[in-house]
Amino acid sequence: MSFQEIAVTIRAVNRASHEFARVSADAESMAARVRSMGAAVAGLGATTSVIAHLGHQFGLLSDEQSKTLATTGYLITVFGMFLRTTWGVAVAQQVYAAATAIAAKITWVFNAALAMKIALLTLGVGLIVATAAYMAWLASTTRDAAEAQTEYNESLRQRERAGARRDEEERYEYITRRGY
């Protein structure tokens, strides 16, 4: 055999790259959704401010109500515009990561509670089965003891009868020997 006949194939597979690409795509998708939501929130805030001014102009809202509603609209607009920035997306992703971690921990707690419930249920069923087996053993043992007591009493009665017969036989023999 020569070295020309031996072929060694080395294949390196980088499976992590695919996962990193998927995580990156998910992050980009989430960033796009956060920016889109930010635009919608900013639009909602701007609409709220416009409604506050129109309500004041038509006399439906007082000065104080109009000012409060407009300020709220401005704050909502600023929040929506903040979400459209890179910082806003980063904050949203951190909040999402924290919420996901909390949800995961809650899921673990629920799974642990379910496992505990199953364990306690299994323990309870096992306890019932063990109690039933013990009761069956106790009943069998009690029945055997009662039968043994009955046999013992019967043997005592037989001995008493045999003893009484023997006494009668001895008296008979005594009488027949003496001639009475």
* Mean pLDDT of the residues in the chain: 83
What is the pLDDT at residue 2? 53
Q: Evaluate if residue 4 carries a pLDDT over 90.
A: no
In degrees and rounded to multiples of 5, residue 12 shows phi and psi of -100, 130
Write down the pTM of the prediction. Answer: 0.44
Q: What would the pLDDT profile of 77-98 be if each residue is shown by its tens digit?
A: 998 888 888 887 888 788 888 8
* pLDDT level of residue 9 (50, 70, 90 thresholds): low
Of residues 26 and 11, which shows the higher confidence score? 26
> Is-contact 48 98, C-beta < 8 A?
no
Q: Give the pLDDT mean for 103-129.
A: 87
- CB atoms closer than 10 angstroms to residue 28: 10
**Cα–Cα distance for residue pair 172/30, rounded to 1 Å:** 118
Note the pLDDT of residue 124.
87
Of 2, 1, 74, 92, residue with least CA distance to 38:
92
For range 130-156, the mean pLDDT:
92
The CA distance from 69 to 52, in Å, is 6
Selection from 42, 54, 48 nearest residue 85 by Cα: 42
